Amino acid sequence: MAHASCTNTSYMSRCSSPSSVAPVYQPWTVYTDDKGPAYRLTRASGIMTSTITTRPTCIREEHTEKREISEADSAYGNIVKSSNDHPHGDESSSSLSTRIRLPTVIEAPNEGCTSVSLRVRIYTLVTTQTPKIQLGNTTLIGRATPLLHVDFFGAIPFAEPPLGKLRLKLPVLKTNLDAEVFDASNFGLACLQQDVPAQAMSEDCLTINIFRPSDVPTDFKLPVLFWTYGGGFDAGTASTFNGSGIVAQSLVRGTPLVYVNFNYRLGPLGLPQGKEADNRKALNLAIKDQHVALQWVQENIGVFGGDKTKVTVFGESAGAMMTAVSFLDPDFGKLARAAIFESGSQATASTFNAERRQNSWEAFVGGVPRCANLAKTDHTFACLQNATSEEIFEGVNASLTNPTEKFPFHPTIDGPDGVYPDYPSRLFARGHFAKLPFIAGTNLDEKLIESFLIANFSPPLVSTQSFDDAVKQLVALYPEDPALGSPFNTGSETFGLTPGYKRAAALNGDMGYQSQRRFWIQTASNAGVKTFGYLFTQPQAGSGRLGVFHSSELVYVYGDVENPTPSDAALSSNMMDYWISFATSLDPNDGKGSSRTEWPQYTPDNQVIIQLNGDNLTAIPDDYRKEQIDFINSMPLTFHHRRSL
């Protein structure tokens, strides 16, 4: 696509808005309420839709530029074709021109309104070709978002369908498609899970999606960000995450990259449990799905303009845990060169051997009508492989409706030849992990669940007496004073719950998340690995007892905060730039994009993390609740770290 106002035609300097906030997709619309004229912008650029409203008195500045666009933008709702929508109503347009307004700076608000700096663009309609890629003998037909200069290719199978004899088997890499032309204009179906319409999911779900800058020259090889979603290992789908905002931001700042995400099997199909699954080497299939998706990237990302030697894996919650488990392989560098772990480490998920959750497997098999009579045997696989997908879903639904524990399907210790060979603390002590650069962080209030220590750590890995003594000592380190509990920084407010709630929440979050992040980053930095840590503390409006809750950072990373305040907008811009900078340079401080605080490297002599807060973005010592977290990390096998106590 030609850019009429471009003076520098090099790929790294394509004409783009100099905005440092996330791009938007929909136009400003005009309406009138009891306060007079107003202008509303709807954003649909990431993982949710949000709205910004402003008024003429809020507009601080306006810039005008001219640029060509394509007819495709009109179909996506990007084009404002009428001249009477101009905030000041004083410009005309011809049939060949149109204008769209994008907020480029969200400043301190005037009283009663959101202050927005507008960039008014005058566009001329041109024709843009639908993006196409030749993958082997197959032509992939993608989808363009010309205003963002981003192409999308989705629903591409990266493994053979895990059906029939391939159900509950290792994924089989699929690098070629069985068609001359393949429609890659949308995401694929989600894997089997609860709370998703039947028509939106399938067992045949192992697909991969690519967002890339448009018109990547054949001689360019761009860094790759590879995303793994979370969802407790029994929910989630790649289609929730629209990477076009991240790619567009990478272009704006002059460090273009390619974004990739994928689907992996969930629940009992992705994380089988029990003795039979162990004997058949069918454990941790979801993690192996991730590895095969990464192998597909190694084989194919070059045709999309990606550099297979510059892959940064990142994920949140279960996605971060899976990626962290992958780091237990010292040779993981053959698939990636760096990682970003958002709220998840190796032992955040409960770590047991396969037989610990035998009853979870029996609940699944018992829910599959034709196999129910075999549920308590070690001969279930053959029957399950002959069942229909509808019958299999009945079992999935049964195992999750009345689970034997809160998270019945988690990564499992699978021995020396597996992806999870031993308890992380034992592997760390031997230096048995990938020595690759990473960012690791947590949110202020990670896990707010009331439950009981002893019920969730049976049978313990140490003597019962030692375990009981450790529990008493640990509980004593968390006072009953609600002012010291989670959500933190909320004083004595108990949100209508018992005072013990905040105490339990603080202990729970430290056990599963805060202690594990600190344990992991200290282990790696002591081994000479380049690491960076963060604590996300941005207040979440209306979150009440949840505080700065688990997953609340996601909309900032994807540039999609709902009704953002100036603080939210600034933080989202900074976080996107930190993440993109790390993916492209292995350092969050490349000096490009938004002006932001220097993020110090975490070292044995400088154990400092960055506080991600729009009103106070600053480096802080990594010593919050030091006594409590030191105690937890002093006996990892006693607690064998658990995210849900």
- CATH code at 282? 3.40.50.1820
Residue 198's pLDDT is 94
Shared-domain flag, residues 154 and 118: no
> Quick one: pLDDT band at residue 479, thresholds 50, 70, 90?
confident
Of 77, 102, 126, at which residue does a domain stop? Answer: 126
Contact assessment for residue 404 and residue 359, using Cβ atoms and an 8 Å cutoff? yes
pLDDT value at position 467?
Answer: 59
Structural element, H or E, at residue 291: helix 285-300
For residue 52, the tally of other CB atoms under 10 A from its CB is 19
Angle at 210 between CA 6 and CA 555, to 5 degrees: 85
Judging by beta carbons within 10 Å of its beta carbon (0-12, 13-18, 19+), is residue 338 exposed, middle or buried? buried
State the total domains in the chain: 3
* Helices assigned H by DSSP within 409-480: 424-429, 453-456, 464-476
Q: Residue 227: beta bridge partners?
A: 261, 314
Residue that is last in its domain, among 126, 156, 177: 126
Clarify whether residues 485 and 585 are in a common domain. Answer: yes
Tell me the one-letter amino acid at 125. Answer: L
pLDDT digits (tens, 9 = 90+) for 323-375: 999 999 999 999 999 999 999 999 887 778 888 899 999 999 999 999 999 99
CA distances to 236, 285, 371 from 392, in Å:
18, 16, 10
Residues of the chain above pLDDT 90, percent: 62
Comparing 422-426, 534-538, 568-572, the range with the smallest average pLDDT is 422-426
For residues 164 and 202, membership in a common domain is answered with yes
Cα end-to-end distance, the chain, whole Å: 54
Burial of 248 (0-12, 13-18, 19+ CB in 10 A): buried
pLDDT value at position 33? 53
> With the CA atoms of 396, 402, 404 and 406 taken in that order, what torsion angle do they form, in degrees rounded to the nearest 10?
90
Residues 286 and 350 in one domain: yes
Q: Which residues pair with 150 in a beta bridge?
A: 145, 213
Residue 239: inside a domain, yes or no?
yes
pTM, whole model, 2 decimals? 0.80
Query: Which pair of tokens denotes residue 33?
Result: 């309420």
More confident residue, 363 or 16: 363
At residue 466, the pLDDT reads: 60
Q: Hey, what's the torsion of the CAs at 106, 109, 113, 114, to 10 degrees?
A: 10
Q: Domain check: are 633 and 488 in the same one?
A: yes
Amino acid occupying residue 24: V
Catalytic residue check, 317: yes
pLDDT of 5 over the 90 cut: no
372 found inside a domain: no
79 and 150 together in one domain:
no
Residues 122 and 170 in one domain: no
Instruction: Compute CA distances 160 → 135, 186, 302, 308, 393, whole Å.
Output: 16, 19, 21, 22, 20
Region 263-277: what's the mean pLDDT? 97
Per-residue confidence band for 166, with pLDDT thresholds at 50, 70 and 90: very high
Bridge partner residues of 135 (DSSP):
138
pLDDT band at 641 (very low <50, low <70, confident <90, very high): very low
- pLDDT at residue 183, as a whole number: 97
- 70, 250, 317, 425: the catalytic one is 317
pLDDT greater than 50 at residue 224:
yes
Mean pLDDT of the chain: 81
Range of the domain at 350: 141-360+412-424
How confident is the model at residue 285, as a pLDDT? 98
Buried b vs exposed e over 437-462: b needs ≥16 C-beta within 10 Å?
bbbbbbbbbbbbeeeebeeebeebee
Does the pLDDT of residue 458 top 60, yes or no? no
Interval 505-525: pLDDT, tens:
898 898 889 999 999 999 999
